[in-house]
Structure 1
Amino acid sequence: MSIRVAVVGGAGYIGGELLRLLLLHPRVEVAAVTSTRLAGRRIDGSHPNLRGLTDQRFLAPEHLSDYDVAFLAMRHTETMGWLTRHSGLAKLVIDLSADFRLRDPAVFQRYYGLPHDTPGALDSFVYGLPELHRAELRGADRIAVPGCTAAAAILALHPLAAGDLITGRVVVDARTGSSGAGAGAGEQNLHAERSGAMRVFAPVGHRHEAEISQETGRTVTMTATGFEAVRGVQVVCHVALREGVDEMAVRRAYRHHYQDERFVRVVAAKRGNYRFPEPKILSGSNLCDVGFATGTGLGTADAAIAVGALDNLMKGGAGNAVQCMNLRMGWPEELGLTFPGLHPI
């Protein structure tokens, strides 16, 4: 028996990735895909990789009816007002925008530059990272999927933060591919401008640092750089270890938290080309690789780095959303998400 699903805002990169996963999902019927701009046009015109998988056309949002699950892939700051007007759209709402990720409306206003339309609704959403909130997600009717760099950093830092192995401020150095800017990105993301560049586009105050702080309970400073890739996020998180915490304690913490997780792998090898997490080999997968390094090679005996890597459109977006849906529906979390990535690519 399948459930009826709608993708609201299906013309962008995240919408396309959701459709790729949902059209192949064994327990899902894609009942509606909306786009205001492209209403009436074929979906595979915007997502050519879906040719032969669907003959559907984009639907104008005003023609939506009711569904079992609605995935909201709209622009940041648009979802909160839209959802108020369509509160009865679906039994389960999974939002991939930033509008319901933060619990504190004052923090939302600081990072997004405007007051939240429905601050009272923030607490009704569960933060959609199964590795941290699995129990809550099983009963959630509203889920807010994390940002891509936030997910990578939170998963990289979680064993250290949860075990109280670190102290002081966390500094996150993030790198992201061009698809992270979305399908409607401006002049700065033209191939002629971006190709070959390593551009620091958020030297301070990146929006995802608020999510990382919220989920780790640590003060976080984040810098973001665009690098030569279409897909992929890598974060290098600089931390100070508490006195007496050594590499073995760090390794035990990662093993404890992730030994039973289907979509998180600990990658911290002594040698080889892929000693630490690298996004290239994760393209198309729902995996997040995390790793670490400690010791005097970092300048001080009590310093460490935590590294995370993922595909920003998958574990950093659509894949994580489908994982949350599977969990909420009581299905195996890996259903429709078993693709392992490619090598070489």
Structure 2
Amino acid sequence: MIKAGIIGASGYAGSEVLRFLLNHPEVEVVGVSAHSDANKKVSELYPSFYQICDLPFLEDEDEVIARADVIFAGLPAGISEPFAQKTLDQNKKFIDLGADFRLDNPEDYAFWYGKKYENSALHQQQVYGLPETHRNEIKQASLIGNPGCYPTSVQLGLYPIMLPHLYANKHIIVNSASGVTGAGKKLTEDTHFTKTNESFHPYKAGNHRHTPEIEQELTKMSGEAIHITFVPHLLPVNRGIVSTMYIDLKKDIKLEDIYKLYQETYQDEQFVRVLPLGKQADLKFVTYTNYCDISLHMDERNHTLIVVSTIDNMVKGTAGQAIQNMNLMFGLKENTGLNYVGPSF
């Protein structure tokens, strides 16, 4: 059995990792920590765990690391480095659900997050944890930067089309909408019920901190510099992301050919479903699952490809993807513990 520990387990990301790990046939959860809720039982904070998981939240992260083979960290930006180093020093594996190990360029991290890398040698070991594009590196890794939720939906939606000879414009417009859990557990003015209920609005238009992560990875896929205009929106739902991307295609490319390319790219990927032409991706049918649904559409008048990508921001966008990475790191079948079907209505 793999012994797993969660640092920052009282937040939404950490509790979602715990929910999946408790149903994982090859994992035993041996410790969870949370400063703000130290000595409380998990089930006191989250009643759904009552009589299922009554572990206490520990205050000492070192104790969690000592017990575990793999650590999941659900922490704010700028906090994960020392815990990652302690984990690696003990020849264990570390999966960071935050932003500290996603960006290659420390200047990008400083600009967008207002933090700096304190341990540059540690970042030489980080591997970006999107399995569909970094699978081989993940299998050999000990330190994973789990992708952001918006970047996951955008990258999976655009990966097949990133061949340079297919599109005419290297500037891509991305509109995304997320459920309120994407903002984290800490309450803000925008996440009050009275503000989000019966509302739908953009936020951080053109300056969201996931922008450099998306551009970094799309540029790697393409081999050419990709720039995006990214506008996120807040949906009045608990979970889910819908990302809509607009790509100018070269004039001789047909939607049927693009659809075939997507089918071929993802034919062996269990967690990416390319819907038949004419269907629309809908977040309802991916909630609580590790699936990404993609639908393709064409604005024939302007010859613009429209890609719609839907995920559950807390699963494929966070916890499910982290466990998918863990499965790869430990040589398990990639779908172990993740075969959940979404709601039918």
Residue 248 of structure 1: how far off its partner (Å): 2.1
Q: Which amino acid aligns with 1:233?
A: I
Residues 1:266 and 2:274 aligned together: yes
User: Using the alignment, how far apart are the partners of 1:146 and 1:67 within structure 2?
Assistant: 23
Is contact 2:150–2:317 with CA below 8 Å preserved after alignment?
A: yes
**Secondary structure of the structure 2 residue equivalent to 1:111:** helix
Which of 273, 280, 290 aligns to 1:276? It is 280
- The structure-2 alpha-carbon separation of the partners of 1:328 and 1:19, relative to structure 1 and needing over 3 Å to count, comes to same
User: Using the alignment, how far apart are the partners of 2:82 and 2:25 within structure 1?
Assistant: 33
Matches within 5 A, 1:196-345: 196-217=198-219, 218-270=226-278, 275-296=279-300, 299-301=301-303, 303-344=304-345
User: Using the alignment, how far apart are the partners of 1:196 and 1:149 within structure 2?
Assistant: 22
Q: Give the aligned partner of residue 106 of structure 2.
A: 105
1:191-220: CA deviation from partner (whole Å, max 9, x where unpaired)? 111111112111112111211111111211
User: Using the alignment, how far apart are the partners of 1:86 and 1:124 within structure 2?
Assistant: 13
Is contact 1:163–1:253 with CA below 8 Å preserved after alignment?
A: no
Matches within 5 A, 1:92-131: 92-131=93-132
Q: Give the aligned partner of residue 63 of structure 1.
A: 63
1:238-284: CA deviation from partner (whole Å, max 9, x where unpaired)? 111124221122112101110110100002432xxxx2211111111
Tell me which moved more, 146-155 or 83-92: 83-92
Matches within 5 A, 1:2-21: 2-21=1-20
Which of 192, 195, 198 aligns to 1:193? It is 195
Is contact 1:7–1:32 with CA below 8 Å preserved after alignment?
A: yes
**Secondary structure of the structure 1 residue equivalent to 2:243:** strand
Query: How many residues of Structure 1 are paired with residues of Structure 2 in the alignment?
Result: 336
User: Using the alignment, how far apart are the partners of 2:308 and 2:123 within structure 1?
Assistant: 30
Residue 328 of structure 1: how far off its partner (Å): 1.3
**Secondary structure of the structure 2 residue equivalent to 1:317:** helix
1:260-314: CA deviation from partner (whole Å, max 9, x where unpaired)? 10100002432xxxx2211111111000111211242xx412x111111000000
Q: Which amino acid aligns with 1:171?
A: I
- The structure-2 alpha-carbon separation of the partners of 1:63 and 1:188, relative to structure 1 and needing over 3 Å to count, comes to same
- Percent identity over the alignment is 30
**Secondary structure of the structure 1 residue equivalent to 2:229:** strand
- The structure-2 alpha-carbon separation of the partners of 1:294 and 1:20, relative to structure 1 and needing over 3 Å to count, comes to same
Q: Which runs of 5+ in 1 are unaligned?
A: none
1:306-326: CA deviation from partner (whole Å, max 9, x where unpaired)? 111000000000000001111
Residue 163 of structure 1: how far off its partner (Å): 6.1
Q: Give the aligned partner of residue 34 of structure 2.
A: 35
Q: CA-atom RMSD, angstroms?
A: 1.6
TM-score by length of 2: 0.93
TM-score by length of 1: 0.93
**Secondary structure of the structure 1 residue equivalent to 2:328:** helix
Q: Which amino acid aligns with 1:267?
A: L
**Secondary structure of the structure 2 residue equivalent to 1:309:** strand
Residue 48 of structure 1: how far off its partner (Å): 1.6
**Secondary structure of the structure 1 residue equivalent to 2:214:** helix
- The structure-2 alpha-carbon separation of the partners of 1:121 and 1:221, relative to structure 1 and needing over 3 Å to count, comes to farther
Q: Which amino acid aligns with 1:38?
A: D
Runs of 4+ in 1 over 6 A off after TM superposition: none
Is contact 2:31–2:67 with CA below 8 Å preserved after alignment?
A: no
User: Using the alignment, how far apart are the partners of 1:252 and 1:123 within structure 2?
Assistant: 37
Matches within 5 A, 1:67-106: 67-84=68-85, 87-88=88-89, 91-106=92-107
Q: Which amino acid aligns with 1:19?
A: L
Q: Which runs of 5+ in 2 are unaligned?
A: 220-225
Q: Which amino acid aligns with 1:245?
A: I
Is contact 2:88–2:94 with CA below 8 Å preserved after alignment?
A: no
User: Using the alignment, how far apart are the partners of 1:12 and 1:89 within structure 2?
Assistant: 26
Q: Give the aligned partner of residue 176 of structure 1.
A: 178
1:93-133: CA deviation from partner (whole Å, max 9, x where unpaired)? 11100111011111111211232222333231111111001
